[in-house]
Amino acid sequence: MNGTFQRHRRLRSSAGMRNLVRETHLHVEDFIYPLFVVEGSGVKEEVSSMPGVYNLSLDYLKEEIDEVVQLGIQSVILFGIPAHKDPIGTEAYATEGIVQQATRKIKEWAPQLIVVADTCLCEFTDHGHCGVISHGDVLNDPSLELLVKTAVSQAQAGADIIAPSNMMDGFVAAIRVGLDEAGFEHIPIMSYAVKYASKFYGPFRDAANSAPSFGDRKTYQMDPANRREALREAASDIAEGADFLMVKPALAYMDIIRDVRDRFDVPLVAYNVSGEYAMIKAAAQNGWIDEKGITMELLVGLKRAGADLIITYSAKDAARWLKELD
Ligand code: PBG
């Protein structure tokens, strides 16, 4: 041949050659593993739409934490399901709230494990909305006060990172001021800056029993059709003091992950959400797909798209698979 075409296959000729030129790598440090904690004892209940994911009471949480640490996972994000819900989500900011209790326990068992606290009200309100309701509307500024109380109580319990997910305007600014005033100026905020009103959250809402009892979240979460709006959301959260930005969901929003990565320099988190996990598990259980291959391809795809960190229910599986590859 006279060299009129490129021989791209030269760099794909063997496993060693492919390893040498690989551009993106997954590491166990990239993962943040979600945990659902419940009150009571002796509870280890699998979420029906999320095989392998459990609602755990604190006594069962210990073995889960041991496993997470043993697998080399460095970070978990906590979601709480309280025994009692009310209109103003009191259990979200109670000193003995389930997230606060779980945080204290985890920091006692595994002080080096980074505990991210999801700061929202929807798991704690009886109407399932992420803020205070009046005449069928979610009120912005009164909700902020409760979110600040929640964030401060989570920090008091020992949370290493506060992750507000409620999409009220000004939530980062309010929480930053609240944390600083309470002496937690060293605690970073991981903002769910770009969170879409998505059907992919369905299985999570089963797990947390947090589906809104009326209406939907479209007045606060974003329209899936919008791309420029994502940059406005991210810019305002950076201006308000966010230390991390998040895009959620992940798979249908890889363009957004790339846009945010290109525009902002803070660490970027992709949330590989419950519906994304459920689809893979369901297809795998039917024997229709290669679960391991597809999961790893999706995770590396999220990093290639620009994510530094991935919140994923697949973290434990992926950590095991990464060890096999070593
Ligand atoms: C709380 C919250 C939700 C998720 C994370 N934090 C649910 C929602 O907004 O309805 C969803 C996560 C997932 O689907 O895995 N607001």
pLDDT digits (tens, 9 = 90+) for 169-181: 999 999 999 999 9
* Omega of the bond leading into 203 within 30 degrees of 0 (cis): no
Alpha-carbon dihedral angle through residues 113, 108, 118, 63, given to the nearest 10 degrees: 80
- Using CB atoms within 10 A of its CB, is residue 70 exposed (0-12), middle (13-18) or buried (19+)? exposed
Whether 208 shows a pLDDT value over 90: the answer reads: no
Distance from Cα 10 to the centre of ligand 1, integer Å: 45
Residue 326 confidence (pLDDT): 63
Residue 86 identity: D
- Among the options 85, 105, 149, 195, which is catalytic? 195
Distance from Cα 300 to the centre of ligand 1, integer Å: 22
CATH of domain 23-325: 3.20.20.70
Taking CB atoms and a 6 Å cutoff, what residues make up the pocket around ligand 1?
118, 120, 122, 130, 165-166, 201, 204-205, 273-274
> Per residue in 133-165, pLDDT tens?
999 899 999 999 999 999 999 999 999 999 999
Q: CA separation (Å) from 131 to 20, 58, 260, 305?
A: 50, 27, 26, 32
In angstroms, how far is CA 194 from the centroid of its own chain? 12
Report the alpha-carbon angle 141-130-138, nearest 5.
50
Atom of ligand 1 nearest to the CA of 274: 15
Residue 2 confidence (pLDDT): 63
Atom of ligand 1 nearest to the CA of 211: 10
Quick one: average pLDDT of 118-123? Answer: 95
Distance from Cα 204 to the centre of ligand 1, integer Å: 6
Distance from Cα 272 to the centre of ligand 1, integer Å: 11
Band (pLDDT 50/70/90 cuts) for residue 46 is very high
Whether 207 shows a pLDDT value over 90: the answer reads: no
Q: Whose CA is nearest to atom 6 of ligand 1?
A: 165
Distance from Cα 37 to the centre of ligand 1, integer Å: 15
Band (pLDDT 50/70/90 cuts) for residue 116 is very high
Atom of ligand 1 nearest to the CA of 200: 14
The ranges assigned to domains in the chain are: 23-325
Q: Whose CA is nearest to atom 10 of ligand 1?
A: 201
> Cβ–Cβ contacts within 10 Å for residue 215, how many?
14
Helix 274-285 and helix 291-305, axial crossing angle in degrees, nearest 10: 150
- Among the options 105, 248, 281, 316, which is catalytic? 248
248 among known catalytic residues: yes
Q: Most distant CA pair in the chain: distance in Å?
A: 76
Distance from Cα 201 to the centre of ligand 1, integer Å: 6
Quick one: average pLDDT of 278-307? Answer: 98
Whether 35 shows a pLDDT value over 70: the answer reads: yes
> Per residue in 53-78, pLDDT tens?
999 999 999 999 999 999 999 999 99
Quick one: average pLDDT of 116-131? Answer: 94
Atom of ligand 1 nearest to the CA of 203: 14
Q: Whose CA is nearest to atom 8 of ligand 1?
A: 201
Quick one: average pLDDT of 250-258? Answer: 98
Quick one: average pLDDT of 114-124? Answer: 96
> Cβ–Cβ contacts within 10 Å for residue 93, how many?
23
> Cβ–Cβ contacts within 10 Å for residue 312, how many?
25
Mean pLDDT score of the chain:
96
Choose between 3 and 41: higher pLDDT. 41
Which of 55, 99, 120, 246 maximizes ligand 1 atoms within 8 Å of its Cβ, making it the mutation to test the pocket?
A: 120
Atom of ligand 1 nearest to the CA of 166: 16
Q: Which residue in the block uniquely carries the two structure tokens 């990239």?
A: 30
In angstroms, how far is CA 101 from the centroid of its own chain? 20
